């Protein structure tokens, strides 16, 4: 075992935004072990102040280029809560179908493009194209289907244009839904094949465990593996808590090693994401989702953070099956154009949905003209930062025998397993021309 280890990973790769890993071990003693978040604040809560109720979704959808549908749904629900708007059953079902598309899109991206290279011993998905072309092609195909699905329901792949408080600005035709359903049915064998490929290298996931409080939505009426409705619950048995009271769950606080706020509820930290949803709702997964979980031996009560990626695969299978069923319901009921009329009023409202990487909260307050006067947004990755730190504190002493490179790689994989999305604000090119 190395007595001295110095790890200073400045910006972990293959995750969203910037996070640093710092570990100092001297003579076998851990002197420093930190998950640092150096991202600049992004001021979205300030940006929406003074904006009208019908501007909010367009602005906050740009918080993220991966889960823009999720941010749009959470903000639209929050605005509807503040303005006292009820949506129709059809709108509700179409939005859930839209949200499922983003779950598949994001999970496929994360497991396929970011986690799989670790398991195959590659630095990125680029060399994987040559090494495992069939698997990569299936991943890309699944991702492409999810993108086209988002296009159909949200109006485009990212930054939706079909959502409006109270309803939808555009709905798909019955034929478009039938075509989508056919595509989803045909996608099932590919999804199973992707899971089998990941399973063939799953023994490279560390068998690391740390008892953790897992927080997610839970919907009891009707019992549903939910991403969209329900109350907040904890795997420690606390809740249900109404989503309007989310601040009493998140308990955000400032940590000196992070520009992002951290969260805790009953323990020093808690985790959100696919594994949290599985631990709280796993018995409600679709048959294929359960089959995938069983394939990897994923069981309720699992506290291995690396298994979050397995839970993501189970959810990818689940959303496809659940959508096939949802489309049947929509077609049976028949689609109809619905008009939305909104009268602004003063009020405060909250919206909550499960982003692919965990529970997401939006709260807004409006004056009587319908202008936003206050906002509070709590993203899933903020809720996971403290838990990543606590995992590090257990992981480092258990895996320091791997030496500097092995420990660093394990810690990077651990961070990536959370599917963090620290920041996604810019996309500027830095160009150097060939002389």
The residues that touch another protein, with contacts defined as CB under 8 A, are 11, 13-17, 42-43, 47, 59, 62, 65-66, 68, 109-110, 113-114, 123-126, 129-130, 137, 140, 143-144, 147-148, 156-159, 424-434
Closer to another protein at the Cβ: 42 or 408?
Answer: 42
Closer to another protein at the Cβ: 111 or 396?
Answer: 111
User: Taking a C-beta distance cutoff of 8 angstroms, is the pair 14, 114 a contact?
Assistant: yes
Closer to another protein at the Cβ: 126 or 374?
Answer: 126
Closer to another protein at the Cβ: 3 or 46?
Answer: 46
User: Taking a C-beta distance cutoff of 8 angstroms, is the pair 70, 355 a contact?
Assistant: yes
Closer to another protein at the Cβ: 21 or 232?
Answer: 21
- Please state, in angstroms and as integers, the Cα–Cα distance from residue 315 to each residue in 103, 115, 219, 330, 427, following that order: 8, 16, 16, 22, 29
The two tokens of residue 64 are 């993220």
Output the smallest distance, CB 280 to another protein, in A: 26
Rounded to whole angstroms, how far apart are CA atoms 227 and 285?
Answer: 12
Output the smallest distance, CB 270 to another protein, in A: 24
Helices 308-333, 287-295: inter-axial angle, 10-degree rounding: 170
Output the smallest distance, CB 384 to another protein, in A: 16
Rounded to whole angstroms, how far apart are CA atoms 33 and 343?
Answer: 53
Output the smallest distance, CB 159 to another protein, in A: 6
Output the smallest distance, CB 10 to another protein, in A: 11
Closer to another protein at the Cβ: 132 or 217?
Answer: 132
Closer to another protein at the Cβ: 76 or 105?
Answer: 105
Q: Which residues, in sequence order, are CB contacts of 237 under 8 Å at separation 6+?
A: none
Rounded to whole angstroms, how far apart are CA atoms 278 and 203?
Answer: 21
In degrees, to the nearest 5, what angle opens at C-alpha 278 toward C-alphas 325 and 57?
Answer: 70
User: Taking a C-beta distance cutoff of 8 angstroms, is the pair 135, 195 a contact?
Assistant: no
Output the smallest distance, CB 64 to another protein, in A: 8
Output the smallest distance, CB 372 to another protein, in A: 14
């Amino acid at each position: 075992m190395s007595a001295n280890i110095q790890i200073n990973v400045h910006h972990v790769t293959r995750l969203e935004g910037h996070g640093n890993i710092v570990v100092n071990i001297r003579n076998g003693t851990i002197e420093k072990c930190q998950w640092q978040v150096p991202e600049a604040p992004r001021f979205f809560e300030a940006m929406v102040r003074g904006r009208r109720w019908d501007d909010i979704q367009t602005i906050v959808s740009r918080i993220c280029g991966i889960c823009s549908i999720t941010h749009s749904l959470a903000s639209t629900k929050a605005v509807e809560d503040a303005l006292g708007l009820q949506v129709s059953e059809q709108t509700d079902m179409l939005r859930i179908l839209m949200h499922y598309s983003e779950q598949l899109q994001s999970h496929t991206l994360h497991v396929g493009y970011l986690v799989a290279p670790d398991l195959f011993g590659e630095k990125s998905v680029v060399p994987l194209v040559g090494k495992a072309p069939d698997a990569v092609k299936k991943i890309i195909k699944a991702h492409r289907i999810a993108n086209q699905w988002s296009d159909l329901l949200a109006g485009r792949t990212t930054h939706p244009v079909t959502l409006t408080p109270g309803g939808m600005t555009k709905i798909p035709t019955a034929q478009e839904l039938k075509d989508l359903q056919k595509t989803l049915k045909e996608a099932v064998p590919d999804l199973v094949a992707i899971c089998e490929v990941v399973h063939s290298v799953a023994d490279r996931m560390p068998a690391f465990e740390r008892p953790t409080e897992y927080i997610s939505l839970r919907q009891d009426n009707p019992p549903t593996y939910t991403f969209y409705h329900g109350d907040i619950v904890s795997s420690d048995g606390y809740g249900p808590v109404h989503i309007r009271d989310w601040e009493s769950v998140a308990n955000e606080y400032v940590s000196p090693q992070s520009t992002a706020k951290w969260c805790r509820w009953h323990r020093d930290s808690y985790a959100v994401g696919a594994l949290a949803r599985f631990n709280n709702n796993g018995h409600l997964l679709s048959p294929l989702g359960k089959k995938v979980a069983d394939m990897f031996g994923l069981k309720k009560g699992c506290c291995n953070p690396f298994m979050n990626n397995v839970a993501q695969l189970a959810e990818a299978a689940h959303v496809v099956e659940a959508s096939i069923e949802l489309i049947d319901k929509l077609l049976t009921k028949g689609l109809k154009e619905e008009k939305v009329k909104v009268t602004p009023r003063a009020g405060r409202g909250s919206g909550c949905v499960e982003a692919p990487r965990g529970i997401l909260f939006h709260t807004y307050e409006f004056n009587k003209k319908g202008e936003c006067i206050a906002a509070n947004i709590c993203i899933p990755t903020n809720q996971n930062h403290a838990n990543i730190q606590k995992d590090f504190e257990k992981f480092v002493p258990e895996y320091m025998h791997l030496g500097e490179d092995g420990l660093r790689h394990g810690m990077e994989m651990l961070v990536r397993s959370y599917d963090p999305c620290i920041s996604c604000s810019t996309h500027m090119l830095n160009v150097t021309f060939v002389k």
